A and B are shown apart, each in its own frame.
Chain A
């Protein structure tokens, strides 16, 4: 069975500081990996995705993530955060199963950027 673990439920950080949001997954087969962002009172928006190829994936708003197969991790990073990055971030894995692309979400990490 697949699972996704987001190691931090909350991450406080000051504006312009770097940030890393950690995600580990368990799977015995190849997976696709995603990071979604949810701003307050909104739906989820795709930040970036890993399907294959280069292990360093760049997304929107200056975020990037690195797929590490040996450590089964897909950590999200940004070198300098803004107040507007305050949101909840979800890591997800996808595998084609039962006729559809099944998405398994982590519990989420709440990023709070302080001035």
Chain B
């Protein structure tokens, strides 16, 4: 029972490059979330999903896209990375409370 896993753990991109972050859960939760964590700002919600095939914008969605083709996976995409997207990204899933993955540290040069 792995809980919530994130791939990759670390990544360095150049401005303009694209990448996809993968979140996988084995808890059969309907709700999944992508957050970014920046110093002094706590966690801010990027996008979320209330079930397979559905996604919605959170607090800071600009520059990101998401997909939930399978219930257990929630993908976060950056089409053209910018230095302002340097952050630590956390995925979470929930039934009643939210369970967080270990994070992906992304640096955009």
Tell me if A44 and B90 are in contact (CB < 8 A): yes
Q: Which residues of B contact A90 (CB under 8 A)?
A: 42-43
Q: Which residues of B contact A45 (CB under 8 A)?
A: 100
A4 to B41, CA, bound (A): 11
A36 to B90, CA, bound (A): 14
Chain B contact residues, CB within 8 Å of chain A: 4, 31, 33, 40-45, 48, 50, 56, 90, 92, 94, 96-103
Q: Which residues of A contact B103 (CB under 8 A)?
A: 41-43
Tell me if B100 and A99 are in contact (CB < 8 A): no
Most buried by B among A9, A34, A49, A103: A103
A106 to B43, CA, bound (A): 8
Tell me if B100 and A44 are in contact (CB < 8 A): yes
Q: Which residues of A contact B102 (CB under 8 A)?
A: 42-43
Q: Which residues of A contact B97 (CB under 8 A)?
A: 34, 46, 49
Give the size range of A's interface with the partner: 20 to 34
- Partner pick for A106 among B33, B42, B101, CB 8 A cutoff: B42
Min CB gap A108→B, angstroms: 6
A80 within 8 A of B: no
Q: 1/0 contact trace for A68-111 toward B, CB 8 Å? A: 00000000000000000000001000000011111101111000
A90 to B37, CA, bound (A): 12
A41 to B90, CA, bound (A): 12
Most buried by B among A45, A101, A106: A101
